[in-house]
Amino acid sequence: MSAGCDLLLSLPIYMPFFLALQNDDLRNLSLSGHVGFDSLPDQLVNKSTSQGFCFNILCVGETGIGKSTLMDTLFNTKFESEPATHNEPGVRLKARSYELQESNVRLKLTIVDTVGFGDQINKDDSYKPIVEYIDAQFEAYLQEELKIKRSLFNYHDTRIHACLYFIAPTGHSLKSLDLVTMKKLDSKVNIIPIIAKADTIAKNELHKFKSKIMSELVSNGVQIYQFPTDEETVAEINATMSVHLPFAVVGSTEEVKIGNKMAKARQYPWGVVQGMYRKHR
Ligand code: GDP
């Protein structure tokens, strides 16, 4: 960092002076020499890449609905996971953390799975372990923040960034378990509803199913994640994303030859469904 930037960092000393000026119109001034604040974006990028990023996903959905497959498809890898049985006495959360690297960017990814969700005859308490898990991560972070000598810089933040809620592709409506669980979680996490195994629904049925789900969420007062549109760079794309909610997804770990390229897809006697498109630069 140049001396000019050091000066910039000591600006708070001059704050009263700036506050007095705050009502005046901003004036454009030209610099008579190099100050150094043009390196601030580079410094931010360097800091972010050296620290790496942390992303925590919570996958909520019945056993066998395609949670593990979708995670493998999304991140183009094979995470360790053994298929859960349908005999779990209750719901339990299983968190696994991985270190992924793409180019020189590191990602510390935590995937939290809801083992046994939807498998019990009495599902009244199915949401409780999920809520408890989320609250426990908030509490752990708070405890770190409250420490006199806190080290948030290298603290592994396990708070959930996104909750993917897997909806069964019934083509009918949401189950009461879905509504109850989403309602309990919506104030604590960003819920992104997704229709799992969307290859099993016909196109016009999928369209109606999506509208039905959205109207049920609205009538039951369930808040789902709103893609932010206040930032100019992402406003357009985010506005189109919201229109597609709930996302219809197809997961696959198998590579199938499509044309002359290999892609993650599901092969059927009648054709091939491609899991996702990846734009190569
Ligand atoms: P989990 O218990 O929710 O983690 O479910 P899995 O990911 O283990 O998937 C259970 C079964 O569903 C496997 O046989 C998968 O191949 C299959 N499956 C996963 N995703 C899809 C999908 O998008 N479409 C279809 N038709 N089957 C899928």
> Cα(250) to centroid of ligand 1, in Å?
9
Give the pLDDT score at 168: 95
Pocket-forming residues, ligand 1, beta carbon under 6 Å: 61, 63-69, 83-84, 197, 199-200, 250-251, 266
- Distance between Cα 246 and ligand 1 center (Å): 18
Q: State the closest ligand 1 atom to the C-alpha of 84, by its place in the atom list counted from 1.
A: 2
Look at residue 176 in the predicted model and tell me its pLDDT.
93
- How far is the C-alpha of 144 from the C-alpha of 150, rounded, in Å? 6
Architecture per CATH, 46-249: 3-Layer(aba) Sandwich (3.40)
What is the CA(277)–ligand 1 centre distance, in A?
Answer: 19
Please report the pLDDT score of residue 24 as a whole number: 62
Using DSSP, state whether 18 is helix, strand or coil. Answer: helix
Q: For tokens 């007095």, what's the residue?
A: 20
For residue range 6-51, list pLDDT tens digits in order: 444 444 444 454 455 555 678 888 998 999 999 999 999 998 888 8
The CA 162 to ligand 1 mean position distance, Å, reads 20
Highest-pLDDT range among 70-84, 98-112, 233-247: 98-112
CA 232/CA 59 separation, integer angstroms: 30
Nearest CA to ligand 1 atom 10: 64
* pLDDT, tens only, 45-83: 998 888 889 999 999 999 999 999 999 998 988 887 777
The DSSP result for 55-120, as a single string, is: EEEEEE--TTSSHHHHHHHHHTS-----PPPS--SS-EEEEEEEEEEETTEEEEEEEEEEETTT-S
- Integer Cα distance of 203 and 98 in angstroms: 36
Q: Which atom of ligand 1 approaches the CA of 166 most closely?
A: 3
Tell me the pLDDT tens digit for each residue of 127-158. Answer: 999 999 999 999 999 998 898 888 777 788 89
In angstroms, the Cα distances linking 48 to 37, 104, 276 are 18, 11, 28
Instruction: Tell me what pLDDT residue 13 has.
Output: 46
Record the pTM: 0.84
The pLDDT tens digits of the residues spanning 178-235 come to 999 999 999 999 999 999 999 899 889 999 999 999 999 999 999 999 998 888 888 8
How far apart are the C-alpha atoms of 71 and 21, rounded to whole Å? 52
**Nearest-CA residue for atom 15 of ligand 1:** 66
Which residue's entry shows tokens 């800091």? 47
Using the atom order of ligand 1, give the atom closest to the CA of residue 71.
7
* CB count in 10 Å sphere of residue 207: 12
Of all protein residues, the one whose alpha carbon is nearest to atom 22 of ligand 1 is: 197
Q: What's the pLDDT score for residue 12?
A: 47
Rounded average pLDDT over 256-275: 81
Structural domain spans, the chain: 46-249, 254-280
Q: CA separation (Å) from 8 to 123, 151, 272?
A: 58, 26, 58
